[in-house]
Amino acid sequence: MKYYVGLTALVFSAAALAQSSLPSFEEVDSNGDGMISQEEAQAVEGLDFAQADTNQDGSLSRAEYTAAGQSE
């Protein structure tokens, strides 16, 4: 039983680490306008802006940014 509890904790810890691979939305949104511009996104290593911008409006919403972080 202790094995399963430890294994479950390890799985949840790994999932939490995977979700936090990108800096927070607030850190990247340097001008505080609630969107991440392509210029702001350049500071995020590993972020594919074109792929993350699913509605192709030239900026990332919080939802688009979060989804990009989960797909890494």
Residues 38-51 have pLDDT tens digits of 999 999 999 999 99
Q: Please report the domains of the chain, with CATH numbers, ordered by start residue.
A: 2-70 (1.10.238)
pTM: 0.71
Confidence band of 7 (pLDDT split at 50, 70, 90): very low
- What lies within 8 Å, CB to CB, of 42 at 6+ separation is 49
How far is 36 from 27, CA to CA, in rounded Å? 10
Place of tokens 């192709």: 56
Task: Provide the token pair at 23.
Answer: 């800096």
Residues 17-31 have pLDDT tens digits of 445 589 999 999 999
